Amino acid sequence: MLYQRSSALFAEAQKYIPGGVNSPVRAFKAVGGDPIFVKKAKGAYLYDEDGNKLIDYIASWGPLILGHAHEPVINAVIEKAKQGTSFGMPTEIETQLAQLAVSMVPNIDKIRFVNSGTEACMSAVRLARGYTGKDKIIKFAGCYHGHSDSFLIQAGSGAVTFGSPNSPGVTQGTAKDTLLATYNDIESVRALVAANKGEIATVIIEPVAGNMGCIVPSDDFIKGLRELCTQEGILLLFDEVMTGFRLGKGGAQEALGIDADIVCFGKVIGGGLPVGAFAAKNEIMSHLAPEGPVYQAGTLSGNPLAMAAGLAMLTELNSKPEVFESLAKKTAYLHEGLDAVLKGKDVPYRINRFGSMISVHFTEEGVVDFASSAKGNNETFKKYFHGMLEHGVYLPPSAFESYFLNDDLSYADIDETVNALKKVNL
């Protein structure tokens, strides 16, 4: 495939945008080469500026569960835009979406809409601190919760890709209040809690990790985490920016059978538009301004376009729960196909999968945490990524990212993906 126009657009973008991109992983630094510039997308396919058609496995990093340019969502945005794009005032549709979200997700009474997953996680941590009166938080190495200062302490995804997990600009004062535990290792959490007795406000976690590849929590780990937080008066915060409304109507809480104290959501709650949210029981949410003392605000929060898109998306997911089973079956089918081909190639690999999230790791060991994920052979991954791209399959351009399937992907698309892998020289 030719990407001459994409390369030219990237060269031009670098003159005016840092690194030529507005989010680092898009720059292809982890895989080499120039990034692909997208012109449009429909269903399961991306169409780039050079006219290439690509089978998409990122779905805008998760939210496009029903595929690109899903007609009910697009129509809802168009009709709402005719009435105005932003008011900075309350609208009825905010309550309608809030009511629907609360009805779908277990263990929440109220929800606050914001403008991104980063903002949701940042605000949720502030709420947890304000509610508990404690300062410290525990996060897990390799989990990514956005680019707020508190979270850029050995973060995953883009930060790891660039080899700078502790970002310049994060102060020592901020860093000292963020404690790092090991994913899938409950003893590492117990040790931190014991060493910081009575000081920890919240434990924030990707309940199914997606930013060090797809990593599934063991039952003992996730159940132990819930029990420990309950015993110690620590709020368990699920970052469901990726998993919310993807792993089931009730997200990871439903899929894992674990109740979190606070839950964060991302773009899916706005049908793929810029939006986020955090939610909890009344007792916790009552501490949020204007009802309580914990301040959080945003002019674009509850933006009518995002609310309209989100209402259309969640209405369909709520009325068609079979979508989640369909997605899981397609992901299992992809897993089987990739596994069959990779067995015939002379490379070590592991495939992790949960629901409609999946990732391939080129390593001999099982991938259960950040350290084991980081052992993957990135040179092999580069060959894999570019080889698949050459045959019309767009995968995440980083070994530290989960794939996200959308339900417009057909079994024929998955067969084409598996056949593409047969042609790739690893």
Render 9-55 in DSSP notation, one character per residue.
HHHHHTTTSGGGSSSGGGG-TTT-SPPPPEEEEEBTEEEETTS-EEE
**Given 144, 349, 384, 403, which residue is catalytic?**
144
Tokens 């079994």 map to which residue? 411
Contact 373, 142 (CB under 8 A): yes
* Distance separating alpha carbons of residues 260 and 283, to the nearest angstrom: 14
**Given 56, 177, 185, 239, which residue is catalytic?**
239
Tokens 């963020």 map to which residue? 178
Nearest C-alpha neighbor of 307 from the set 156, 143, 83, 157:
83
Tabulate helix, strand, coil % of the chain (nearest 5): 40, 15, 45
* Distance separating alpha carbons of residues 401 and 261, to the nearest angstrom: 26
Contact 200, 82 (CB under 8 A): no
* Token pair in block for residue 79: 């009709």
* Distance separating alpha carbons of residues 349 and 366, to the nearest angstrom: 9
* Distance separating alpha carbons of residues 202 and 174, to the nearest angstrom: 15
CA-based max dimension of the chain:
61
Contact 279, 263 (CB under 8 A): yes
* Distance separating alpha carbons of residues 351 and 362, to the nearest angstrom: 9
Q: Is 239 considered catalytic here?
A: yes
Q: Is 261 considered catalytic here?
A: no
The continuous run of DSSP H or E covering 119 comes out as helix 117-132
Hey, is 337 helix, strand or coil?
helix
The crossing angle, in degrees rounded to 10, of helices 322-342 and 411-422 is 20
Q: Is 144 considered catalytic here?
A: yes
* Distance separating alpha carbons of residues 404 and 268, to the nearest angstrom: 12
106: CB partners within 8 A, 6+ apart? 250, 253, 254, 259
Nearest C-alpha neighbor of 1 from the set 57, 56, 58, 48:
48
**Given 139, 267, 330, 382, which residue is catalytic?**
267
The continuous run of DSSP H or E covering 101 comes out as helix 92-104
What are the catalytic residues? Answer: 144, 239, 267
